[in-house]
Amino acid sequence: MEKEQFIRKTCKRYNISGHAHELTFSCYRNQNFLLAERMCQWLIKSIERARKKHKFSLWAFVFMPDHVHLLINPIDGEYNISNILKDIKTDTARKTVKYLKENNPSALSKLSTGQQYRKYRFWQKGGGYDRNIIKENTLLDSVKYIHNNPVRKALVVEPGNWFYSSYNCWVNGIDEPIRIDKETWPLF
């Protein structure tokens, strides 16, 4: 009998000065946690804290019900994209678990892992997706992809109708729900 083989998916990260990063990470078991306004606000605060701590520009984003897309550009020559992601994700997860324990303990079952060492999880295990970007056309394609995600998923007809997106920041100059660092966008 053949031994069953387990393939562990790993995400190789390249922390290269001058590269932008297209990041994607998902909610635990692809659940729609980000339909809750409270969770989205905690995620915004986590991104803002991480942006200050790790010094990166935020160029595009969208919060989908079950996952997040970010396009960031680290400003410092030396950085660690894994640490940036950890700081964004950990704060949101902790606040969610604390809130549910205090206000809605039965909802914790959606975050339950069934493990002793880590009982609850807000984000899917692993680093998600990370792509380094250095070319202008790839950056532009990434922004379009991010902004059109709610349209592709049939959540809205126009990308500007999705609140948790940077589309209106870029197109209409509305710096909500998160300010985009347009001033650091490269002039090719």
Confidence of residue 176 (pLDDT cuts 50, 70, 90): very high
Domain ranges of the chain: 20-184
Burial 100-125 (b: 16+ CB within 10 A, else e): beeeeeeeeebbeeeeeeeebbbbbe
20-184, which class in CATH? alpha beta
pLDDT at 103 over 50: yes
User: Which of 86-95, 127-136, 147-156, 167-176 has the lowest average pLDDT?
Assistant: 127-136
Rg for the chain, CA atoms, rounded: 17
Tens of pLDDT, residues 69-96: 999 999 988 999 999 999 999 999 999 9
Of 89, 66, 69, the closest CA to residue 20 belongs to: 69
- Work out the number of other CB atoms within 10 angstroms of the CB of residue 127: 20
pTM of the entire predicted model:
0.90
Chain centre to alpha carbon of residue 24 = 5
Arithmetic mean of pLDDT, 156-182: 96
Looking only at the bridges linking them, the beta strands covering 56-63 and 20-26 are: unpaired
Tens of pLDDT, residues 1-43: 444 454 444 566 788 788 999 999 999 999 999 999 999 999 9
3-state secondary structure 103-154: HCHHHHHHHECCCCCCCECCECCCCCEEEEECCHHHHHHHHHHHHHHHHHCC
